[in-house]
Structure 1
Amino acid sequence: MTELAKQRPEYRNIHAFRDLPSYRWPLAALVSGMHRISGMIMFLLLPLVIWMFDTSVSSEISFGKFTSAFSSGLGFAPGWLIKLLTLGLIWGYLHHFIAGLRHLLMDMNHAAVTKEFGKSSAAVTLVASFGLTAILGAKLFGLY
């Protein structure tokens, strides 16, 4: 064993509340974790997606109900909550799609699996997903 390996701390059992807050995630690991979280968000909001699709294409009356849900709300949920859930869905889809393309690129081109490419492609993924989410979110909330 080398001297460097002896100096490193060895974690066998990671305590979630004690060890994880002090762990520094590299940007590539953060994007990979967010890829999993965005997939979970899309899965959990699938009933909302099905409802949105069904009410938007069924008839003119149901489309009016669909559009009014974003302004006046739906049942117990106010309109801003519907918009916020939709914004979360937009981010989840965009991030999952862009990060998925990043993972596919790294799977197809093994020369791209380097620390430098991982860091730069993770930064591009974050900027693209949050930038597109901001643009579509501004449209969703009626800023343009």
Structure 2
Amino acid sequence: MSDTIKQRPGTMRLVDATQYRLPPAGWVSILHRVSGIIMFVLLPFIIWLLDNSLNSDVTYQYIADVFVGGLGFVPGWFFKLVVLALIWAYLHHFTAGVRHLYMDATHSVSKEFGRSSAVATLAISLLLTAALGFKLFF
């Protein structure tokens, strides 16, 4: 009996799976799911922000003060980072969704278009996030 352990065909260890290099379309697909999860998990925070910002002038100022001075033991910059994550999640989810809708409507499913549209999706979502993040922090 040999010392090497034989694996069944089709099985893969996690270490083997991390050796693959995903194409940009694979990253966009995974990040599309991650951004959807982020938006779903942070939905109570979004509702809290919306409710307090639209309720009255006093509660709007309260939200503005939270972003500057924090709330309890949580500093204001942390709230800004959470909102920045929401901004990225929304923009990436939106641009990736538009990419998928465009590909479905035009039947553009070539390898070249998939790669170029994935790179464009990543670039657009990151550039818009950087612009809105700059506005958020400065």
After TM superposition, the score normalised by the length of structure 1 is 0.87
1:125 to 1:76, Cα distance in 2 relative to 1, 3 A: same
Which residue in 1 is equivalent to 2:136? 140
Shift of 1:72: 0.5
Q: Tell me which stretches of 4 or more aligned residues in structure 1 moved more than 3 Å.
A: none
Task: Give the alignment partner of residue 75 of structure 2, picking from 65, 74, 78.
Answer: 78
Deviations 1:93-115 (A, max 9, x none): 000000000001111111x1010
Amino acid at match of 1:116: E
Which residue in 1 is equivalent to 2:123? 127
Shift of 1:62: 0.4
Which residue in 2 is equivalent to 1:14? 12
* Higher mean displacement: 91-100 or 20-29: 20-29
- d(CA) in 1 for partners of 2:32, 2:9: 25
- d(CA) in 2 for partners of 1:14, 1:69: 48
- Aligned pairs (5 A) from 1:67-106: 67-106=64-103
Which blocks of at least 5 consecutive residues in structure 2 are unaligned? Answer: 1-7
1:70 to 1:117, Cα distance in 2 relative to 1, 3 A: same
1:58 to 1:11, Cα distance in 2 relative to 1, 3 A: farther
- d(CA) in 2 for partners of 1:59, 1:13: 58
Quick one: percent identity of the two aligned structures? 52
1:109 aligns with 2:100: no
- d(CA) in 1 for partners of 2:111, 2:66: 46
Amino acid at match of 1:34: L
Deviations 1:67-104 (A, max 9, x none): 01111011231101100000000000000000000001
After TM superposition, the score normalised by the length of structure 2 is 0.91
Amino acid at match of 2:10: R
Which blocks of at least 5 consecutive residues in structure 1 are unaligned? Answer: 1-9
- Aligned pairs (5 A) from 1:25-40: 25-40=22-37
Equivalent residues, number:
131
Shift of 1:11: 6.5
